[in-house]
């Protein structure tokens, strides 16, 4: 008897999310899909489509253990897609909120991998970590650019577990549209004098640029198809997905550090910053 492959995808609660698009794409390919969310009441559309919905907060150990019990001993694919984004200068980032961001974006997914590792390795499965081109050092993305899976891939390859990193560029989701903001700002009184004076001028220009660029963003459904196609390709280790992703795949690595810094400063208006004495 043919047994369906089984996938667990985090970050599916928004119907326009990449996670939801990935779930629907896998369903169409005949997979059994677990689509978790903190609030399962938001998952009616995916449940109706055929997903198995379960409660999961990636920072909650009881939820993680419960998901493992539900899934059992076989898991072919884990996609770590749940994340929050907090934009802003590192000098003004609240350490407590930065810690919370790491809990959601890094520690939670790592714990999920640990708990589900036996089911994944037993199935010679695959872990896909949805990252961001923010890893290339984009200004004001410092808190979001720290999720890497290269070490995990190298450690687990001999066990038969594949680990794929997705460097996500512009994909049309609620996060890109700014509908799920996550602020990691310090209180006004604690902010650095340089950014408190100048960042308020930079931020509107940055947001306006983002709005214009987002009009050209890749649809989530198209990004999902490309990701699943890459999973089916046994040779895929790292993939670049989304509008403008080609820049980071084919051009960025070959630029000097000084050139990268200048492009970033110009495009993201960092050159507007001045010292307090100016």
Q: Tens digit of pLDDT for each residue in 70-107? A: 999 999 999 999 888 766 677 777 788 788 888 888 88
Q: Is the dihedral of CA 269, 271, 276, 278 positive or negative?
A: negative
**What does the pLDDT read at residue 105?**
86
Is residue 200 assigned to a domain?
Answer: no
Structure tokens given for 97? 């909120």
| 130's tokens | 């949805």
Q: Is 201 within the bounds of a domain?
A: no
Q: Is residue 272 in some structural domain?
A: no
User: Residue 65's domain spans which residues?
Assistant: 6-190+218-252
Sheet of strand 77-80, all strands in order from the earlier edge strand to the far edge: 52-55, 32-37, 6-9, 77-80, 126-130, 162-168, 238-241
Residue 101 lies in a domain: yes
Contacts of 48 (CB under 8 A, 6+ apart): none
What's the farthest any 2 CA atoms get from each other in the chain? 75
- 3-state secondary structure (DSSP) of residue 69: helix
Q: Is 112 inside any structural domain?
A: yes
Q: Distance between alpha carbon 251 and the CA centroid of its chain, in Å?
A: 22
The model's pLDDT over 206-261, given as tens digits with 9 standing for 90+, comes to: 777 777 777 888 999 999 999 999 988 877 788 899 988 888 889 988 989 898 88
pTM of the model: 0.86
Percent of the chain with pLDDT over 70: 78
Give pLDDT, residue 102.
85
Q: How confident is the model at residue 276 (pLDDT cuts 50, 70, 90)?
A: very low
Quote the number of domains for the chain. 1
Query: Would residue 211 count as lying in a domain?
Result: no
119 part of a folded domain: yes
Residue 278 inside a domain? The answer is no
200 burial type by CB count under 10 A (0-12 exposed, 13-18 middle, 19+ buried): exposed
């Amino acid at each position: 008897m043919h047994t369906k492959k089984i996938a667990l995808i985090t970050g599916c609660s928004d119907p326009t999310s990449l996670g939801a698009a990935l779930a629907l794409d896998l369903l169409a390919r005949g997979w059994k899909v677990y689509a978790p969310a903190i609030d399962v009441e938001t998952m009616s559309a995916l449940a109706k489509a055929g997903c198995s919905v379960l409660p999961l907060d990636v920072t909650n150990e009881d939820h993680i253990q419960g998901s493992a019990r539900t899934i059992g001993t076989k898991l072919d694919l884990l996609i770590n897609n749940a994340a929050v984004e907090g934009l802003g200068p590192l000098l003004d980032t609240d350490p407590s909120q930065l810690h919370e961001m790491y809990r959601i974006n890094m520690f939670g997914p790592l714990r999920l991998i640990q708990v589900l590792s036996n089911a994944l390795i037993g199935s010679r499965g695959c872990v896909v970590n949805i990252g961001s081109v923010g890893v290339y050092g984009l200004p004001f993305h410092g808190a979001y650019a720290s999720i890497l899976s290269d070490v995990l891939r190298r450690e687990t390859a001999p066990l038969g577990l594949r680990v794929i990193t997705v460097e996500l560029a512009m994909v049309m989701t609620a996060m890109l549209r700014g509908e799920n903001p996550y602020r990691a700002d310090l209180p006004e009184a604690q902010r650095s004098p340089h950014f408190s004076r100048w960042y308020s001028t930079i931020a509107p220009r940055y947001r306006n640029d983002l709005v214009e660029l987002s009009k050209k963003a890749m649809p989530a459904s198209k990004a999902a198809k490309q990701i699943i196609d890459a999973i089916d390709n046994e040779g895929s280790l790292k993939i670049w997905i989304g509008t403008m992703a080609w820049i980071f795949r084919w051009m960025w690595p070959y630029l000097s550090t000084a050139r990268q810094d200048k492009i970033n400063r110009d495009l993201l208006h960092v050159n507007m910053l001045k010292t307090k004495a100016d």
